[in-house]
Amino acid sequence: MPASTALVWFRRDLRLADHPALQTALARHERVVPVYIADLGAERDWAPGAASRWWLHHSLSRLGGDLAERGAPLLIRRGDSLQALRALLAETGAEAVYWNRLYEPAIVARDRAIKAALREQGIAAHSHRAALWHEPWNLKTAGGEPYRVFTPFWRKLSAELPPLQVEPAPLHLKGAAVHLHSDTLESLQLLPKLNWDAGFYAQWRPGETGAQHALDRFVRSALGHYRGGRDFPFRPLTTQLSPHLHFGELSPQQVRAALLRRAQGTATLEADAGQVLRELGWREFAHHLLFHFPHTAEAPLQEKFAHLPWRTRADYAADLAAWQRGRTGIPIVDAGMRELWTSGWMHNRVRMIVASFLTKNLLIPWQEGARWFWDTLLDADLANNTLGWQWTAGCGADAAPYFRIFNPLLQAQKFDPDASYIRRWLPELARLPAEAAHAPWLAKAGVLERGGVRLNEHYPEPIAALGASRQRALDAYAAIRAA
């Protein structure tokens, strides 16, 4: 092996196992210098939101500890990525840079420019696939076009999954031969100045070890109950792996390997594992769409929906604030929004309910909801966030039909029948029977009184009548459909 040095540029691949860039660098070079560059401005309008920054801080802390234990501390630098890499190349004498690919439009453009600039100065620059099963440009329809519908996309992807191989984390690393300056993690100022993140610590454990614990918990206790229970927000049967996947503390290959290992030979478990893999397929589909249609982070994929007669901001500002604070008067919606604010996460079924209420019942543009989720979700992922909001608004790929408007009351009665989820997140309704907790505005005065609830004092009346607001949305969407 030549006595050479390489930089390994960590981004949202904050793990050591199943890390192609790190593994390739170790195979080709004697020394590796792990570096993280805080260049959040490169993501332009989609720099990490407040909740994501919290996760990033703690994940970097864990990664730094894991690397230091192996002999190669994580270097942190701030500023322009290309300038930081060039400075480190000069300081270390490194002859190559390795990184794993990201797929957001601004990052794709930035990385292409960096690769070209480094190669022009004689530096070997190599990028690798680590976050997805397939590159977005590799899967095409029979006509050579990008997919716009999930089912044929998943049929193609699931038939061409890569070999099931997961490389373990290296036990030892040989770092730089010289002392190098590193900025401190605290200097990145990722943590909030106000103590609004207290609820995150009780529920989440960022970092590679935390990701493995979360995966092990799911395959041991929830696999086998996932398909039947994942829609019920009061039951702990979802994977809750999305933040770990977004920050690359876990790869989809690692999830796939753990699922198949646990499910092997058991029909129920194999069916459940298949459903989880299909959900990971939706994640791949989201990245496929964003790569091929980069405008969709801001504008609808179906262009006709750009003309949908949304309410004006002056008209909807108060309703948007009520939705953000969990004060709409619709308990299942408010419970979801308060879960989001407290924990940085929201159950997927409830995400669809709150998104439908915002876009259909309140007729507020989906971009407002996408921006709020971006700032408050720990798992805020541009591809997934865009796909989810456009699906619910009916303007994206594989979108819900325009006339599909979630009735939040019926959804609560079906998926939170005992109002357990509502009571957890809306303590002011905790003493009401389930029927009244689902719809306090329909409850008799005596029932509310016995539960200690006075509408508009302890809990608001609905800011929108479900029936009338549904019809308003149908009329607006029908006008677009007709046009």
| Confidence (pLDDT) at 479 | 87
Domain locations in the chain?
5-130, 131-165+208-292, 303-482
The predicted structure's pLDDT at residue 3: 74
**Which of the four pLDDT bands, split at 50, 70 and 90, describes residue 253?**
very high
Q: Is it the case that residue 2 has pLDDT exceeding 60? A: no
Type of residue found at 460: P
The counts of H helices and E strands in the chain are: 21, 5
The three-class DSSP label of residue 338 is helix
This prediction has a pTM of 0.96
User: pLDDT tier at 386 (50, 70, 90 boundaries)?
Assistant: very high
Helix axes 366-376, 382-393, angle to 10 degrees: 150
Q: Summarize pLDDT for 205-244 with one digit per residue, the tens.
A: 999 999 999 999 999 999 999 999 999 999 999 999 999 9
Q: What is the pLDDT of residues 56-69, one digit of tens each?
A: 999 999 999 999 99
State the pLDDT confidence band at 480, using cuts at 50, 70 and 90: confident
Residue pLDDT, tens place only, 132-185:
999 999 999 999 999 999 999 999 999 999 999 999 999 999 999 999 999 999
Nearest to 137 by CA among 290, 245, 250: 290
Band of pLDDT at residue 400, cut at 50, 70 and 90: low
Beginning with the edge strand found earlier in the chain, give each strand of the sheet holding 96-100 in spatial order.
75-78, 31-38, 5-10, 96-100, 124-128
How far is Cα 33 from Cα 145, in angstroms, rounded to an integer? 40
What element of type H or E holds 127? Answer: strand 124-128
Which pLDDT belongs to residue 1? 45
Question: How many CA atoms within 13 Å lie on the side-chain side of 468?
Answer: 4
Three-state DSSP state, 276 = helix
Contact 289, 465 (CB under 8 A): no
Q: Which residues of 100-129 are buried (b: 16+ CB within 10 A; e: fewer)?
A: bbbbbbbbbebbeebbeebeeeebebbbbe
Q: Do domains 5-130 and 131-165+208-292 have the same CATH topology?
A: no
User: What is the percent of the chain where pLDDT is above 70?
Assistant: 99
CATH class, range 303-482: mainly alpha
Average pLDDT over residues 88-110: 97
| 409's tokens | 């009351």
User: What residues form DSSP beta bridges with 6?
Assistant: 32, 96
Share of the chain above pLDDT 90, in %: 94
Does residue 316 surpass a pLDDT of 90?
A: yes
- Tell me the pLDDT of the chain averaged across its residues: 96
| Interval 189-204: pLDDT, tens | 999 988 899 999 999 9
pLDDT band at 404 (very low <50, low <70, confident <90, very high): confident
Which CATH number applies to 5-130? 3.40.50.620
Q: What pLDDT score does 403 carry? A: 74
Q: How would DSSP label each residue in 365-390?
A: -HHHHHHHHHHH-TT--HHHHHHHHH
CATH class as words, domain 131-165+208-292: mainly alpha
Q: Determine the average pLDDT of the residues in 114-125.
A: 98
For residues 358-368, average pLDDT: 97
